[in-house]
Amino acid sequence: MRLVINDISFNYKSIAALKNVCFELEKGEILSLVGPNGSGKSTLLKCIDGILKPYVGAVFVDGKKTFSMDSKELAKIMGYVPQNVSGATKVFPFTVFDVVLAGRKPYIGWSITEKDIDTVVSILKFMGIEDLATRYFNELSGGEQQKVIIARALAQLPKILLMDEPTSNLDIKHQLEILYLIHYLCKRMGLSVIMAMHDLNLASRFSDKIIMLKNGGIFAAGPPEEVISMENIMDVYGVKAYVSKASFGKPQITPIEPLNSWEVQRIWIYEKV
Ligand code: ADP
Ligand code: MG
């Protein structure tokens, strides 16, 4: 399964959120989208999944334009994990089992089959959340909800998984656990992943490629060794950071100074209040 993003541009009314974004993703690869708040990561994921329609550009899966596929066909290829859950799932008392079963929608014809039930049970176990199966989704913690939503996307058995900050609500153990599981699915099962990540160290550790966005355009793209550099972090985030190579061979950063000398003057404003 090969994904081609061809020259995507997207505007929210007068705001140009994405500008001429192009890249490709091969089977089994993990790509992280990084960049400051508002740089276009979520918008790009939504354009790839077809939730938003770019005014220019197209997405191709194995040469076929996704915009011409129906929603069922697309849902068997792509799963999307939003940053926060909204709508009915958040409001109504659905059980965790029901929420994950909703991921089977593209496969369910007239009725739910044993295969659908078996798939949901297996994925709950894979994610380590089978104990939550009968709990109400809207009563779970943010981290528990995040795992359930990932499970719902996996229940679609997608070839490509899009995740918007999948580890943002998780503690350190669960961050690593989820990224290991995702890494395993990519390397052993050939899943391809695009994930928006704030944590540059986790992105560097688990990704084959990183795309660094700035103001809706690609500022840098390539393997972590090329993208995670002191210069890029200064140019894109305005943060001074040391970059070193960790024992597992990937660059890791230590941020040093978040404010330049002019910005430090803002602290004095509070002192005078
Ligand atoms: P990121 O996920 O990298 O933080 P987003 O893709 O959410 O960035 O946002 C990119 C830009 O688009 C920002 O300038 C943001 O303010 C703007 N934006 C996002 N969603 C909307 C919206 N629904 N309406 C108007 N502007 C939006
Ligand atoms: Mg976002």
Q: What residue has token string 């040469």?
A: 63
Is residue 38 within 6 Å of ligand 1 at its C-beta?
yes
Residues 91, 137: contact at Cβ < 8 Å? no
Taking a C-beta distance cutoff of 8 angstroms, is the pair 7, 22 a contact?
yes
Give the CA dihedral 202, 40, 256, 268, nearest 10 degrees.
-140
Over range 181-185, report the average pLDDT: 96
Cβ contact 202:3 at 8 Å:
no
User: For residue 45, what pLDDT is reported?
Assistant: 98
Contacts of 269 (CB under 8 A, 6+ apart): none
From 95-99, 229-233, 252-256, 264-268, the region with the lowest mean pLDDT: 264-268
**Across 187-193, average pLDDT:** 97
Q: In the prediction, which pLDDT does 223 show?
A: 98
Rounded to a whole number of angstroms, the distance between the first and last alpha carbons of the chain is: 59
57: Cβ contacts below 8 Å, ≥ 6 apart: 5, 6, 7, 8, 9, 20, 21, 47
Can you tell me whether residue 95 is helix, strand or coil?
strand
Q: What is the pLDDT of residues 46-74, one digit of tens each?
A: 999 999 999 999 999 999 999 999 999 99
Domain range summary for the chain, segments of one domain joined by +? 85-157
| Enclosing H/E stretch for 184 | helix 172-189
d(CA 10, CA 103): 28
**Cα–Cα distance between 33 and 222 in angstroms, integer?**
11
* Residue closest by Cα to atom 15 of ligand 1: 38
Measured in Å, residue 108 CA sits from the centre of ligand 2 at 31
How many CB atoms are located within 10 Å of the residue 51 CB?
13
Mutate to test the pocket of ligand 1, among 14, 39, 80 (most ligand atoms within 8 A of CB): 39
Helix 114-126 vs helix 142-155: angle between axes, to the nearest 10 degrees?
140
- Which residue CA neighbors atom 5 of ligand 1 most closely? 40
State how far Cα 45 lies from the chain centre. Answer: 7
* pLDDT per residue as tens digits for the range 121-171: 999 999 999 999 999 999 999 899 999 999 999 999 999 999 999 999 899
Task: Indicate whether residue 119 lines ligand 1 (CB < 6 A).
Answer: no
Q: In b/e form, how buried is each residue of 121-137, taking b as 16+ CB within 10 angstroms? A: eebbeebebbebbeeeb
* Residue 244: count of CB within 10 angstroms of its CB: 8
Please indicate whether residue 18, judged by its CB atom, sits closer than 6 Å to ligand 1: no
Indicate the pTM of the whole model. 0.94
